[in-house]
Amino acid sequence: MRYLFAVINRIKTLIYLIIIKLCNFSKFNFDGISVISISSIFKISGNGYISIGKNIGIRRWCEISASEYGEINISDRVFMNNGCMLVAHSKIDIGEGTRMGPHVMIFDHDYIYNDADRFEKGEHTTAPIIIGKNCWIGAGAIILKGSKIGNNCTVGAGAVIKGTYADNSLVIQKRNIQIHNIGEKNCYEKNTTYFR
């Protein structure tokens, strides 16, 4: 029975990928059979391009988006857990065998933060992201433009990173938890809904 479900999932994925290919003929390429949830979205606009290898696993509610001149290359045996998001305006390369926990976000661009009209103009600064082979990206990690992560690296859950990391690196972000007494009376007066 388990084997039957695996075959059905691969057939559904193949049909889904063929439909995406037909809608985005030269802008989308896939290289074999994978298991991809049909609730996940592939968006290609402008001259964007997405390529995925074989034996890919993409769970529910993921979004893979190549905008303008963005390019996304996902190598063989990459796994993305629920809710991951990859958005490229430049280039994102993910190496073979890399795995991502849920809700990993990868953005190769950013708004020009010091321009008051930044949202109306829609302009971005961009820099490619390269993630090596056999990496583990922990749940909720955010990888920002210009990051280069070597082979066999681990990025800790919840880390927000930007930079270059050598092969075999453990990249974590330490957080300092601070607890302050705000006084029950003040808290009750300002936030009455929390104490009823």
Q: What is the pLDDT of residue 196?
A: 41
What per-residue confidence (pLDDT) applies to 117?
A: 74
State the pTM of this model: 0.85
Residue 139 CB burial class (10 angstroms; 0-12, 13-18, ≥19) = middle
Best CATH choice for the domain 2-195 from the list 1.10.3720.10, 2.160.10.10, 3.40.50.10300, 3.30.450.20: 2.160.10.10
Q: Where are the alpha helices (H) located in 30-94, listed in sequence order?
A: none
Task: State the pLDDT at residue 195.
Answer: 42
pLDDT, position 58: 97
Check residue 113 and give its pLDDT: 75
For residue 182, the model assigns a pLDDT of: 74
Q: Mean pLDDT, consecutive 10-residue segments, the chain of 196 residues?
A: 82 87 89 90 96 96 96 98 98 99 98 74 89 99 99 98 98 87 60 45
Parse the chain into domains and list their residue ranges: 2-195
Q: In which residue are the tokens 């979205």 written?
A: 41
Given a contact cutoff of 8 angstroms between Cβ atoms, the answer to whether 48 and 66 are in contact is yes
CA–CA–CA angle 116, 120, 125 (5° rounding): 75
| Residue 189: per-residue pLDDT | 52
* Interatomic CA distance for residues 170 and 100, integer angstroms: 15
